[in-house]
């Protein structure tokens, strides 16, 4: 799970002055994933000194950097960023498992609890950095749609987790990087090559192998894994979640670094909470779980999702976005393992084939973005 699912924020500048790409799989929702906590221009704490490049902090200025000016830089721990990424993927996956274990709790209600945890985490940061609660006037419309689409992605993802196999839903969410490239080409006029088209086709093929529509696979597909109607509803919800998450990434790129990371999450959490509470009253679904175990699961979903987001943020502060994006595919591996161990459901060969297609597509997109950013960094040095 991704506590956004998400992707929400701006990447910290790399040591060469280049901005890393938004990583794949950063879904809003389970994981609204954000690269960095460095303040936007104009909102740095009073007394911040000169900005300097720091290998361990991706160019953040002191006192946000781990070391003050003039001190000897400590050698970074090799692979620490990738370890944080794997830990983040594990926490997101365990949170998704708890969501599958919860009984008789609507996905919208789970999303509302998640938003409460997000608000509790972000509010002190907004006060500390003095960013305000509305943001620049010319960016508010973008922030609103970022929050609206991000909350939709989270609700749809949680619904997909509840009605279809955990591994299937997780795999489909990893199509969001491919959709991001496509939407960025349409709305931001970014380059879209034949390789990007190939990766898109791979992602679509993976989704088809997981969904197995009867008009392609025959009527026998409806009896493969439980109720096929729920399976199709979950597939549609997961694809829509990936599209919504991709839309938020495009909006984040459009906004750029003019908006603080915390403010982006603030809109996401507040709009999500208002929307979820409204929907719960309209659907008459607002109720606390009767079982004490389910209440504990709700709290753990919020805590683990927040922890996963924090570790992913730390990973992107000390490691390049490309390797982190590729390592994020460990979400899929953990989903397969947890589903087999705790849900007693082995993935089918169709799901494995679909997972390979989607992971290849997501990793290919990440590698291309990574190589492109490295190439631009070298050209900048020249």
pLDDT in tens, 140-158: 898 899 889 988 998 999 9
| Structure confidence at residue 156 (pLDDT) | 93
Q: Indicate if the pLDDT at residue 67 is higher than 50.
A: no
pLDDT tens per residue, range 85-105: 899 889 989 999 998 888 778
Distance of CA 188 to the CA centre of its chain: 21
User: Is pTM, for the whole model, over 0.85?
Assistant: no
| Structure confidence at residue 241 (pLDDT) | 93
Please report which residue ranges of the chain form alpha helices under DSSP H.
80-101, 107-129, 140-163, 166-173, 176-187, 194-211, 214-217, 228-255, 261-283, 292-318, 321-327, 330-342, 349-381
> Vertex 339, ends 107 and 305: CA angle to 5°?
45
How far, in Å, are 76, 79, 133, 141, 315 from residue 319 at the CA level? 10, 8, 30, 32, 6
The torsion of the CA quartet 281, 132, 116, 63, rounded to 10 degrees, works out to 170
For 172-204, give the DSSP string.
HHTTHHHHHHHHHHHHS-----HHHHHHHHHHH
Q: Indicate if the pLDDT at residue 279 is higher than 80.
A: yes
- Structure tokens that stand for 215 in this block: 């008009």
How many CB atoms are located within 10 Å of the residue 126 CB?
17
Q: Indicate if the pLDDT at residue 234 is higher than 70.
A: yes
Q: How far apart are CA 85 and CA 316, in angstroms?
A: 8
pLDDT bucket at 23, cuts 50 / 70 / 90? very low
Residue 367's nearest CA partner among 332, 320, 313 is: 320
151 contacts 245 by C-beta, under 8 angstroms = no
């Amino acid at each position: 799970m991704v506590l956004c699912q998400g992707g929400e924020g701006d990447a910290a500048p790399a040591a060469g002055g280049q901005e890393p790409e938004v990583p794949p799989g950063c879904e809003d929702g389970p994981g609204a994933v954000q690269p960095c906590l460095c303040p936007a221009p104009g909102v740095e704490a009073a007394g911040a000194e000169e900005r300097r490049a720091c290998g361990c902090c991706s160019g953040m200025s002191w006192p946000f950097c781990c070391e003050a000016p003039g001190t000897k830089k400590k050698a970074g721990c090799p692979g620490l960023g990738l370890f944080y990424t794997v830990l983040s993927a594990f926490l997101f996956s365990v949170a998704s498992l708890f969501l599958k274990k919860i009984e008789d709790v609507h996905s919208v209600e789970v999303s509302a609890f998640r938003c409460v945890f997000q608000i509790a985490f972000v509010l002190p940061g907004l006060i500390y950095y003095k960013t305000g609660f509305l943001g620049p006037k010319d960016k508010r419309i973008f922030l609103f749609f970022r929050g609206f689409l991000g909350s939709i992605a989270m609700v749809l993802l949680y619904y997909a987790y509840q009605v279809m196999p955990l591994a299937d839903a997780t795999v489909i969410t990893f199509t969001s990087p491919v959709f991001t490239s496509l939407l960025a080409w349409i709305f931001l006029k970014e380059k879209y090559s034949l390789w990007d088209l190939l990766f898109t086709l791979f992602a679509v093929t993976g989704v088809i192998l997981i969904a197995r529509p009867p008009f392609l696979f025959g009527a026998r597909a409806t009896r493969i894994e439980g109720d096929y109607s729920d399976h199709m509803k979950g597939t549609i919800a997961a694809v829509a979640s990936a599209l919504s998450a991709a839309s938020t990434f495009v909006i984040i790129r459009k906004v750029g670094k003019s908006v603080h990371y915390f403010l982006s999450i603030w809109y996401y959490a507040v709009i999500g909470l208002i929307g979820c509470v409204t929907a719960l009253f309209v659907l008459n679904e607002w109720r606390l779980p009767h079982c004490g175990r389910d209440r504990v699961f709700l709290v753990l979903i919020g805590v683990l999702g927040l922890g996963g987001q924090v570790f992913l943020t730390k990973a992107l502060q000390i490691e390049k976005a490309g390797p982190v994006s590729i390592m994020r595919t460990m979400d899929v591996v953990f989903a397969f393992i947890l589903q087999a161990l705790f849900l007693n459901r082995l993935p089918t060969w169709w799901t494995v084939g679909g997972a390979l297609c989607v992971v290849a597509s997501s990793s290919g997109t990440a590698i291309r973005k990574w190589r492109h950013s490295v190439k631009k960094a070298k050209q900048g040095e020249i």
